[in-house]
């Protein structure tokens, strides 16, 4: 292999390693139990992942709903009842209970599986570390520090 090709291949490999998934830096795999993922969750990364959600949701206190409800303080809120102004589906309201770390993780994995019939057409976040980061970000925006077990 010519030296120029080897050099380009090496440079490409180094750049790809720099863009590798964050779990390598955190020592926890995306499939680890939620408690382990929450311990290494990063609200800054959660904010970046939340940009996908921001197309439909706001998160700052006092801001209105969009196509989805405002999510400020959603942690510990009743499922399907966080925003008094938003028209939640009967499917989500029928789930009952409150948003816990485990329920948020389940919801963020696959909203349609969590609440069949929901109007949220988001396929979910497959990466468990992304979900933990978003959960930490949600807690940082009106819910305090995550107390996930």
The domain segmentation of the chain, as residue ranges, is 22-140
- Distance of alpha carbon 48 from its chain centroid, rounded? 10
pLDDT at 18: 38
pLDDT value at residue 147: 74
Record the pTM: 0.82
Per-residue tokens: 141: 């925006």
Q: What pLDDT shows up at residue 54?
A: 96
Q: Which two tokens stand for residue 94?
A: 């029928």
pLDDT by residue for the chain (149 residues), tens digit each? 565 544 444 443 333 333 434 444 789 999 999 999 999 999 999 999 999 999 999 999 999 999 999 999 999 899 999 988 999 999 999 999 999 999 999 999 999 999 999 999 899 999 999 999 999 999 999 987 777 76
pLDDT of residue 143: 80
Length of the chain: 149
* 125 exposure class (CB count in 10 Å sphere: 0-12, 13-18, 19+): buried
Task: Give which of 105, 110, 148 is closest to 128, Cα–Cα.
Answer: 105
Query: Which of the following CATH numbers is that of domain 22-140: 1.10.10.10, 3.30.390.30, 1.10.760.10, 3.40.50.920?
Result: 1.10.760.10
pLDDT at residue 128 in the model: 98
Question: Residue 51: phi, psi to the nearest 5?
Answer: -55, -30
Helices 128-140 and 43-50, axial angle in degrees (round to 10): 100
The per-residue pLDDT for 14 is 36
């Amino acid at each position: 292999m010519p030296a120029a090709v080897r050099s380009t291949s090496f440079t490409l490999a180094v750049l790809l390693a720099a863009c590798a998934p964050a779990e390598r830096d955190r020592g926890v795999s995306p499939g680890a139990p939620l408690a382990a993922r929450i311990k290494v969750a990063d609200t800054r990364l959660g904010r970046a992942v939340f940009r996908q959600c921001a197309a439909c949701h706001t998160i700052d206190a006092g801001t209105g709903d969009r196509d989805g409800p405002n999510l400020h303080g959603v942690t510990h809120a009743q499922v399907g009842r966080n925003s008094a102004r938003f028209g939640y589906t009967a499917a989500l309201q029928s789930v009952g209970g409150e948003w816990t770390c485990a329920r948020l993780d389940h919801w963020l994995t696959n909203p349609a599986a969590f609440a069949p019939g929901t109007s949220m057409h988001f396929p979910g976040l497959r990466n468990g570390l992304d979900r933990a980061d978003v959960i930490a970000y949600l807690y940082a925006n009106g819910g305090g520090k995550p107390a996930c077990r």
